[in-house]
């Protein structure tokens, strides 16, 4: 199983920017913890960060046929990007969005979430720990999908017999 973690604009500045909101943990530290979890659970993981909307869209599209899950923090693009929303919808891959802060307790413009309706789930307001919760959630989703596929295969074999 492969999960691609996509990080949006300014997340490369974690640990520096607005620590009172986002904490002191750097993106590399978050990724290191995610990689440890992935290794422990036999998951292939890939990390990608861009400040550019088009590059994020390209990465989502590259996941089609290559990854079984996406964890995305679209950052400010969460509130503005119909294009990222459409890319997530187009690839039909289980996708969990993560937000370090509770976007619903912040400025009114941050309460608009363009991508949530096309994501499988959302993890909001748990700080950097939200990425761990997303990994646990994705693992559960993958196990459920595998169980469904196994049941369908068994049913098909019974029908053919």
Q: Which residues are catalytic?
A: 22, 99
Contact at 8 Å (CB) between 106 and 129?
no
Sign, CA torsion 39/45/47/53? negative
Contact at 8 Å (CB) between 43 and 109?
no
* Interior/surface letters 89-99, b for 16+ CB within 10 angstroms, e for the rest: eebebbbbbbb
Q: How far is CA 32 from CA 17, 106, 134, in A?
A: 20, 28, 15
Tokens found for residue 93: 């891959």
Tokens found for residue 6: 């996509």
Tokens found for residue 95: 């996708």
């Amino acid at each position: 199983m492969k999960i691609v973690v996509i990080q949006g604009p300014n997340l490369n500045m974690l640990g520096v920017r607005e620590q009172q909101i986002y904490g002191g943990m750097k993106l590399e530290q978050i990724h290191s913890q995610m990689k440890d979890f992935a290794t422990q659970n036999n998951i292939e993981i890939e990390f990608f960060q861009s400040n550019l909307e088009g590059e994020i869209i390209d990465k989502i599209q590259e996941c089609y046929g290559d990854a079984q899950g996406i964890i995305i923090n679209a950052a400010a693009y969460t509130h503005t990007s119909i294009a990222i929303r459409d890319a997530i919808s187009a690839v039909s891959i289980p996708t969990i969005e993560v937000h370090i802060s509770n976007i619903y307790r912040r400025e009114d413009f941050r309460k608009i979430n363009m991508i949530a309706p096309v994501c499988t789930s959302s993890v909001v307001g748990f700080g950097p720990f939200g990425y761990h919760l997303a990994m646990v959630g994705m693992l559960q989703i993958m196990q459920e999908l595998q169980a469904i596929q196994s049941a369908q295969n068994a049913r098909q074999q019974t029908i053919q017999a």
